[in-house]
Structure 1
Amino acid sequence: MTSVSPDARRIWHGVRLPLAVVLLLVLTGTLLVLFQGEQTTGALEPGSYEPGGSRALVTLLEREGVEIITVRTAAEADDVAGKATVLITQPSYVPKRTFTELRRIASDVVLVQPSAGTVDEVLPGVRVTGELETETRAPDCQAKDPVAAGSATMGGLKYSATQPRALECYGGSYLEVPGPQGTVTVLGAPAPLTNEWLADEGNAALAMRLLGKHDRLVWYLPTPADPFLENEKKPLSELIPAGWSYAALQAGVAVVLLALWRSRRLGPVVTEPIPVVVRAAEATEGRARLYRKAKAAAHAGETLREAARARLRPLLGLTRDAEPAALVESVAARTGGMPAEIGALLYGDPPADDAALVRLADGLDVVEREVERS
């Protein structure tokens, strides 16, 4: 007899091709990771090649000899910001005292899309006046860097300032605020600094002039996880205006009064007379009439037998799944009847007419009574 079970050789011939494909894929992925090196992702990340990243701008700045230092906490920024340009990508996560210190020690500061609350807190006299669509815009101002760069992709938030020497460009999406130590530049949108838009219009020229003025550039990427922010957190009660507290109190009182007004008031139980008295046997009689009208004597007989068997089993100590022979023998032993007659009564042929159905019902009734009495 020849064995048809696969041996090791047959198994190897069957799996070697899929195994080779899997190994090739794993090897290719490993080589790609090794050759590409570590990559970062995220908006304005200096090492990100994504459209929203800034790897292209970082490469241009490094070619011009600018040393770029990436920091992510306020403590790191304070240590290296001296005599450097500081780019803050998320000004909302920078506390006021940190910004004040950076502005004091840094040569220039560039803020990317600070919110209305941020400029109110860290730049007195500057406010957000609206939003602009991000598109190609002319400088329309006298600021040196925008004039030299020409048209650029600008938009986002629109700013204005009350300081007499502040310069608004690109429809208000670029703002220069001079200070005692250096200039604070506010950008309404990050587009000119990103890989996606850097090669368009004068974006590269504008970004290079803004961030390449000094030998060092501190690329500050604030995050909510900065330990320095733990001391700046405020409880929710301090963030809610006083007027809202009074409004919430009034609303709570109104809700309580409304609940008291609309709540259900329980009184004594009220009896209600039943309009119609229905006999308990009416459903049974109605079902019998339906069987009679349909001439379903056989179905009615099986229904009666099943009901009788269900009542007899617990009386005889039998389970629901007891065999018919066991039920017949138990009934015959209890009543003294003949097993053949008991079997014909409980499991016999269906009744052919109403008269046979009546005889079947009487016989089942007699058997049940005898079992109960014995």
Structure 2
Amino acid sequence: MTTSTATSPRLRDRWRTWAWILAALAGIVVTALLVTKSPRPEGYLDPEAVTQRGGHALAQLLHDRGVTVTRATTIDEVRAATRPASQLMVLDNGNISDEILDALAELPGDRLLLTPYSDTRERLASQVRITSYQGDEIVEPNCDLREARQAGAIQTFIGPTYTFTNPGPGQTSCYGGTLVRYQDGNRTITVLSDETPLTNLQLAKQGNAALAMNLAGRSTHLVWYVPEKPKVGSSAQPKSMGDLIPDQVSMAVWQLCIVVLLLAIWRGRRLGPVVAEKLPVVVRASETTEGRGRLYRSRRARDLASESLREAARYRVVHCLGLPVDESPQVVTNTISQRIGRNPTEIHHVLFGPVPSDDQQLTALVQQLDIIERQVRDS
């Protein structure tokens, strides 16, 4: 029985080694398949991206409707694809520089801006400004815009709401300011504050698909502009979240900061200076052990005391023999017997025997445990 039990850990170790080797080989095969597979764009709202955050589903619906979708990632591609009869859809992902904005402002055709930052909004939709923010909710159109009335209610997410700098005729606001449109000469400018409904994941919910197709499919040719990340040395500046914050919010934030500062000063003066406190008394380990022993003795808890002593002795002996901590009592007993040359029955009685009936037996047990531990350590 001792031989079979001693070989089982080695068999388990071999199986673990082979399992790691097989897992590594499987990982290499999967990595090779992924590397050799032709990559697809995975950018946010990219018309060729099939991920949940991509826009391939909308591009396919527009294609089935007869709309030609031209994907552009640079300003040169946008210039080459834009025509007076086409519509330019701009996804402001924070990679649009001032030079690109100047070039976009000179291009002909209608514009559809998706969640534009402040500088993009000022250059390409100067009559629109932010008023507040809306939460996650289902909203109705509440406007006369044909595209919105055909789509019906949509699911909006956290984003800004818009209004017009100079209200006038020809201006339309839908979904509580989430969607606004106005005429700038012969150009129609549409601003959508939340582009999330256009993604592959959200397109099929509520009236998102209808609204997206109506807005992006106004013309037979759509130039879908997804700005690429600026190269090293370019003049594009990353956009910050402050560009989306309305002007009146900054004053409120500063007022809150002043209030918090005054409250901190008031509380600090009220509590007084910091008082140094002495370190707690250091209790020696021997005193802790003696106190625990006296507690066991006062409660006549010889069962708990003997089990604590045996468990500690078994842990040290098993660790010294190189056996697993959860090894069976019979294997531990036989291994100790072979190591020190004592009777296995006597060793088993000391390490795994019954509870001592009195204090003298408990004292004798402590002595026997100390003898076995010393013999194992010195053998």
**Letter of the structure 1 residue corresponding to residue 72 of structure 2:** V
**2:77 alignment counterpart:** 76
Say if 1:103 and 1:182, in contact at 8 Å, map to a contact too.
Answer: no
After superposition, give the CA deviation of every residue in 1:175-221 in whole Å (9 maximum; x if it has no partner).
01223333111011112211221111110001111112333221112
Determine the C-alpha separation between the residues in 1 that align with 2:162 and 2:138. Answer: 17
Are 1:200 and 2:205 an aligned pair? yes
Say if 1:81 and 1:102, in contact at 8 Å, map to a contact too.
Answer: no
Determine the C-alpha separation between the residues in 2 that align with 1:191 and 1:57. Answer: 12
Give the alignment partner of residue 173 of structure 1, picking from 161, 170, 178: 178
**2:50 alignment counterpart:** 49
**Letter of the structure 2 residue corresponding to residue 125 of structure 1:** Q
**2:68 alignment counterpart:** 67
**2:372 alignment counterpart:** none
Q: CA RMSD in A?
A: 3.4
- Structure 1 residues 146 and 30: alpha-carbon distance in aligned structure 2, compared to 1, 3 A threshold: same
Q: Tell me, what secondary structure is at the counterpart of 1:230?
A: coil
Say if 1:150 and 1:202, in contact at 8 Å, map to a contact too.
Answer: yes
How do 1:62-211 residues align onto structure 2 when only pairs under 5 Å count? 62-82=63-83, 83-90=85-92, 93-94=95-96, 99=101, 102=104, 105-155=107-157, 156-161=159-164, 162-211=167-216
- Structure 1 residues 123 and 227: alpha-carbon distance in aligned structure 2, compared to 1, 3 A threshold: farther
After superposition, give the CA deviation of every residue in 1:12-67 in whole Å (9 maximum; x if it has no partner).
xx9998766644543344445656x3122232122333332212212222333333
Determine the C-alpha separation between the residues in 1 that align with 2:137 and 2:128. Answer: 23
**Letter of the structure 1 residue corresponding to residue 50 of structure 2:** Y
Determine the C-alpha separation between the residues in 2 that align with 1:193 and 1:73. Answer: 21
How do 1:1-374 residues align onto structure 2 when only pairs under 5 Å count? 22-31=24-33, 37-82=38-83, 83-90=85-92, 93-94=95-96, 99=101, 102=104, 105-155=107-157, 156-161=159-164, 162-223=167-228, 225=230, 230=235
Q: Tell me, what secondary structure is at the counterpart of 2:148?
A: helix
After superposition, give the CA deviation of every residue in 1:106-157 in whole Å (9 maximum; x if it has no partner).
4321101113343234323321111111321100001110011111123511
- Structure 1 residues 165 and 48: alpha-carbon distance in aligned structure 2, compared to 1, 3 A threshold: same
TM-score of the two chains, using structure 2 as the length reference:
0.50
TM-score of the two chains, using structure 1 as the length reference:
0.51
How much does 1:92 deviate? Answer: 5.7
- Structure 1 residues 226 and 106: alpha-carbon distance in aligned structure 2, compared to 1, 3 A threshold: farther
How much does 1:228 deviate? Answer: 11
Q: Which stretch shifts more, 142-151 or 127-136?
A: 127-136
> Any stretches of 5+ residues in structure 2 without a counterpart?
1-15, 239-379
Determine the C-alpha separation between the residues in 2 that align with 1:104 and 1:221. Answer: 18
Determine the C-alpha separation between the residues in 1 that align with 2:64 and 2:72. Answer: 20
Q: Tell me, what secondary structure is at the counterpart of 1:157?
A: strand
After superposition, give the CA deviation of every residue in 1:257-309 in whole Å (9 maximum; x if it has no partner).
xxxxxxxxxxxxxxxxxxxxxxxxxxxxxxxxxxxxxxxxxxxxxxxxxxxxx
Determine the C-alpha separation between the residues in 2 that align with 1:16 and 1:93. Answer: 49
- Structure 1 residues 92 and 183: alpha-carbon distance in aligned structure 2, compared to 1, 3 A threshold: farther
- Structure 1 residues 226 and 20: alpha-carbon distance in aligned structure 2, compared to 1, 3 A threshold: closer
Which of the pair has more CA radius of gyration? 1
How much does 1:169 deviate? Answer: 0.3
How many residues are paired up? Answer: 220
Identity value in percent: 27
Determine the C-alpha separation between the residues in 2 that align with 1:68 and 1:93. Answer: 21
